[in-house]
Amino acid sequence: MNFKRISIFMIAVMTAGVLFAQDKKANNIDDSKIGLQGYSPVSYLDLGLAQQGSKQYKAVHDKIAYYFTSAEQKSKFEKNPDKYLPQFGGFCAFGVYAGAKFRVDPNKFVVSNGKYYLFLNDVEVDAKQLWVAEKESKLLATANKNWKNLRTKS
């Protein structure tokens, strides 16, 4: 990985303000406890789309509410919730690779090998583009190692 890119990424993100501040939870949620900012986890994985879910089709898993676009999506999730949960608790995958937890733009994501990864979008740095530009297996090895520590830290 190009260390200049990581440095630029980290500086830009850390100065981005409260919106992208580190979260103290293992899941990227706010006080409402709504996962994925109301976007459907099934839409990400099965359709490759970022679709806003509806309160009408709500399921709760591990005390986090998830919204879906239909009763069919809700049923799929309830049958196998672990399949549809975002990687790294819904935090920015590139941020986890770099050793930090950042909130994401729910429209910035990548689906790969039956999983989906979310990314922040900053005016100066596009974390999704940085992820796509590098070898995913190398990024994932580091991100998975970092996540073991990050998931329990503030």
pLDDT band for 2, please (50, 70, 90 cuts): low
Tell me how far apart the alpha carbons of residues 130 and 57 are, in angstroms, rounded to a whole number: 34
Instruction: Using CB atoms within 10 Å of the CB of residue 64, give its burial: 0 to 12 exposed, 13 to 18 middle, 19+ buried.
Output: buried
Reported pTM: 0.83
pLDDT tens for 100-144 read 999 999 999 999 999 999 999 888 889 999 999 999 999 999 999
Share of the chain above pLDDT 90, in %: 71
Three-state secondary structure along the chain? CCHHHHHHHHHHHHCCCHHHCCCCCCCCCCCCCEHHHHECHHHHHHHCCCCECEEEEEEEECCEEEEECCHHHHHHHHHCHHHHCCHHHHCEHHHHHHCCCCCCEEEEEEEECCEEEEECECCCCEHHHHHHHCCHHHHHHHHHHHHHHHCCCC
pLDDT tens for 9-65 read 554 444 443 334 433 468 887 778 899 999 999 999 999 999 999 999 999 999 999
